[in-house]
Structure 1
Amino acid sequence: MAGKKQFDVDAVLDAAMVQFWRAGYADTSIDDLSKATGLNRSSIYATFGDKDALYLRCLDRYAARYGDRYDQALAGGPAVDAVRAFFDVTLERIADPDVPDGCLIAQTAMTTPVLNAAIAARASEALGRQRARLRTALSCTELAASDVEDFAVHFAAVNQSLAVMSRAGTSEAELRTVTDISVNALAQALRC
């Protein structure tokens, strides 16, 4: 049937996302995307648009996939347990052998100066959503509003640093130590 896609769009987006995640935006060519997805260049352009448009779709896909997991982690239980579960989502992703090390959003944020404005803005929005998730989870505690904001900023920064550190080969035990220190700081603040 003419016009019917002969491929699974979700599978192609996943393959493109992993390619961008592994190599980065600048070091991924349309030919690399063609090899990763199994589509020819014209099919990529016809279906997804240019490289920027495809990258934005991949960022959105990544943010939704892991954002849902973060939302679930932060939804239940006391704040200390919720924040620990939040970090567990990241540590599980880092330990997953089926995905590249690091974080596509953190990687994008680090290259913001060389990206187009739409991609840079999307990465910034994703980081903002992460802080907002944390802020919401912490707002039900007895912490002052300024402390809630400070912890949300801190936890978001720690979370992004875990991705960078994992990409540099930091061990899982060391990454766990980083999260434990942050969670323990929250526990102490809540006891005061």
Structure 2
Amino acid sequence: MCSLSIMVGRKQFDVDEALRSAMLVFWRWGYSETSIERLTEGTGLGRGSLYSTFGDKSALFRRSLQRYTETYQPLYEQALAGPHPGPAAAIAAYLRVTLDRIADPAVPDGCLLTMSAAQLQALDPPGQALVRATIDRLRVLLEQAFRAAGADEREAADLALGVLAMNKSLAVLSRAGFSGEDLATVAAAAARIPGERAAARPH
């Protein structure tokens, strides 16, 4: 909840803190179940302040998703920067960021991007475009990391798509109450995929 104070007869508040609070509301409830009432309760702002600062619900969602991306994408970029001895190490590093985020008690389970993709039809066209563009950027980031770790172009593309799907699966399983140990097992299985693919190739 953002802090409020009185100055020269006007309410002052930390816009960045309010945006983070709104992000957590969308993250916890998803776009469809996030009402203006939940946003005002979560941010501590009145309707007037909310609308005048951020616009309507759709505009606030887009800013919240951008804030989410700005918070977590640098962590994924750092994890993938390597150098990694092979794609398996890059996968493990990438999914470790996800597991650490899920284990963080300060944020909701799951993933705001995953929830938003699952509710894509509820979003307006700009919101839909932002969700897809954010996912596409992650896919490109993964492909680049796998190529740098020694995968050829086709393998890098296949692994990027598979790991992206695995990452989203971790978010869904965490929302369903699966334990951290279960999620770590899923991540470890994903990291074994490159070795299994190599073993399956004809020699």
Conservation of the 8 A alpha-carbon contact between 2:58 and 2:123: no
Regions of 4+ moved over 4 Å: 1-5, 188-192
User: Which amino acid is the alignment partner of residue 121 of structure 1?
Assistant: A
Q: Which structure 2 residues correspond to residues 121-136 of structure 1 after superposition, within 5 A? A: 121-136=129-144
Residue 26 of structure 2 contacts residue 34 of structure 2 at CA under 8 Å; is this kept in 1?
yes
**3-state secondary structure, aligned to 2:31:** coil
User: CA 1:131 to 1:143, structure 2 compared with 1: closer, same or farther past 3 Å?
Assistant: same
Q: Name 1:73's counterpart in structure 2.
A: 79
Residues of 2 paired with 1:119 and 1:132: CA distance? 20
CA contact (8 A) 1:73 1:83 kept: no
The aligned amino acid for 2:125 is A
* In the alignment, structure 1 residue 178 sits paired with structure 2 residue 186: yes
* 1:184 to partner: Cα distance: 1.2
* 8 Å Cα contact 2:90-2:149 kept in structure 1: no
In the superposition, the TM-score normalised over structure 2's length comes to 0.88
Residue 7 of structure 1 corresponds to which residue in structure 2? Answer: 13
Gaps of 5+ in 2: 1-6
Q: Percent identity?
A: 43
1:122-178 CA deviation, whole Å, 9 max, x = no partner?
111111111111001011233221111000000011001100110001111111111
Structure 1 unaligned spans of 5+: none
Q: For the Cα contact (< 8 Å) 1:94–1:166, is it kept in 2?
A: yes
1:34 corresponding residue in structure 2: 40
C-alpha distance in 2 between matches for 1:30 and 1:143: 47
CA offset at residue 5 of structure 1?
A: 7.0
Give, in whole Å, the separation in 2 of the partners of 1:5 and 1:67: 33
Go from structure 1 to structure 2 and tell me whether the alpha carbon gap of 1:32 and 1:149 turns closer, same or farther (over 3 Å shift).
Answer: same
Tell me how far 1:2 sits from its aligned partner.
7.1
User: Across the two proteins, how many residue pairs are aligned to each other?
Assistant: 192
Measured in 2, the distance between the counterparts of 1:42 and 1:101 equals 30
TM-score for the superposition, normalised by structure 1: 0.93
Which residue of the partner structure matches residue 89 of structure 1? 97
Check whether the contact 1:143–1:190 (CA below 8 A) recurs between aligned residues: no
Letter aligned with residue 68 of structure 2: Y
